[in-house]
Amino acid sequence: MTTAVDVESTLLTLFSPEGHANPYPIYDALRAAAPVSFHSGLNVYFLTRYADVETLLGGADFRTPDEDWADEHKPGWRDHPASVFMHTSVLYRNPPDHTRLRRLVSKAFTARRVEALRPHIEADVKRVLDALEEAGRDGKVVDFQDIVSFPLPVSVIGDLVGVPQEDQGQWRWLVDDMAKLFDPVLDEETHAKADKACETIFAYFWELLAQRRAEPQDDLLSALIATRDGTDALTDDELVNLVTLIFGAGFETTTGMIGNGIHALLSNPDQLALLKADPSLAAGAVTEVIRYDGSAQMVLRIAGRDTSIAGTDIPEGAIVTGFLGAANRDPERFEEPGRFDIRRAANRPLTFGGGIHFCMGSAVAKVQGEILYNELFARFPGFRLAGEPRRRSVLAMRGFDHLPITL
């Protein structure tokens, strides 16, 4: 029987280079030993089973750590721009604030607007694959993340939000620094980088907001400015926070998804052969990538009242983290969860969240993956890995910093 000390040590391993490289055996060990684990130093409960994480995402017993919670539990948090962004964003709002913001955003971020992106995504895919062909001539080894995984989603979400093409290249490392804030184990240097990145991003969107107020365009920011629900409208602070979240999250997680998917497909040639033979399997391939090696690995909630999960008492106010990556490999929910299978039936991973906080941009990410995976392997049948990839030094947002390939 694994002791509490062993569980706590194992939990911390997830936030080490070993855990960043491959968290899945660690998730399995935690799920077997203590599916509801508590770390006394972090004062956090951690969940590793699908059913428990699903309850966390949609259950009425849990809420997000909003600014009221931060005022009570995180002294000085308002002195850190990245913390202000995190705790005041729609991601961490609770009803009725969340309900209001989501309603207003939904009036602008419509299914029609998303569907209208498809021809733009097809053109963006062609453009990045042209760049890949040029860079990879004569068998040259190139970094897939630099040429495809980052430029594609940043272009798609940038065009959607209204960020001009010439401004899009600066965002990769800024958002990378900011995203590390979502890991529960942080050092001061990482927090300082997140603050600096957030200040830079906010300054950019304040300027863009002023431009769009003066001269509206056919983009999401202009639509959000014009959105009304009776007399209700978004404030300037809410607008800047929203477009920062939509833009940053819109390419950050998709960059991870694209690279993780390429690595999974190339590492499982039988599945890649199935996709090449039947392009209609692309949607299933994307869903399986999201399950097998999702870019979002965890979600944070606060117990709104005394409750219990799987027989473990959770007191009101307790911090609870659900490991999405662990839930997506739970053998009680998925047959042979460690096997990559693009034809997997009844495949419903939790990577995009659940309940009222389900990711509004999930459809945009999936369309990009479907179009890219089909076009890429049809155009470059000899595409393969060409060296040792380098994983990002963060658990919460899983992906690659470097993915060497050759055509």
pLDDT in tens, 100-153: 999 999 888 887 888 888 999 999 999 999 999 999 999 999 999 999 999 999
Overall average pLDDT of the 38-67 stretch: 94
Overall average pLDDT of the 374-390 stretch: 95
In the chain, how many domains are there? Answer: 1
Overall average pLDDT of the 324-340 stretch: 98
Overall average pLDDT of the 279-300 stretch: 96
Average pLDDT over the chain, rounded to an integer: 92
Place of tokens 């029609």: 112
pLDDT in tens, 27-48: 999 999 999 999 998 999 999 9
pLDDT in tens, 187-226: 788 888 888 988 999 999 999 999 999 999 999 999 999 9
By the 8 A CB rule, do 389 and 267 touch? no
Percent of all residues in the chain with a pLDDT value above 90, rounded to a whole number: 72
* Highest mean pLDDT, choosing among 55-59, 174-178, 249-253: 55-59
Using CA atoms, how far apart are residues 56 and 354, in angstroms rounded to an integer?
Answer: 9
Res 183 pLDDT > 80: no
Here the tokens at position 242 are: 């929203």
Domain that holds residue 395: 4-406
**Quick one: pLDDT at residue 3?**
45
Using CA atoms, how far apart are residues 23 and 25, in angstroms rounded to an integer?
Answer: 6
**Quick one: pLDDT at residue 122?**
95
SS3 call for 263: helix
Packed helices 151-161 and 362-379: angle between N→C axes, nearest 10 degrees: 140
> What pTM did the predictor assign?
0.92
By the 8 A CB rule, do 66 and 92 touch? yes
**Quick one: pLDDT at residue 186?**
67
Using CA atoms, how far apart are residues 398 and 26, in angstroms rounded to an integer?
Answer: 15
Q: pLDDT-based confidence at 250, cuts 50/70/90? A: confident
SS3 call for 229: strand
Question: Residues near 208 by Cβ (< 8 Å), separated by ≥ 6?
Answer: 162, 163, 221, 243
Please tell me which residue, 181 or 354, carries the higher pLDDT value: 354
Using CA atoms, how far apart are residues 153 and 371, in angstroms rounded to an integer?
Answer: 12
**Quick one: pLDDT at residue 1?**
36
Percent of all residues in the chain with a pLDDT value above 70, rounded to a whole number: 98
The CATH number assigned to the domain holding 273 equals: 1.10.630.10
SS (H, E, C) 154-179: HHHHHHHHCCCHHHHHHHHHHHHHHH
Using CA atoms, how far apart are residues 71 and 77, in angstroms rounded to an integer?
Answer: 8
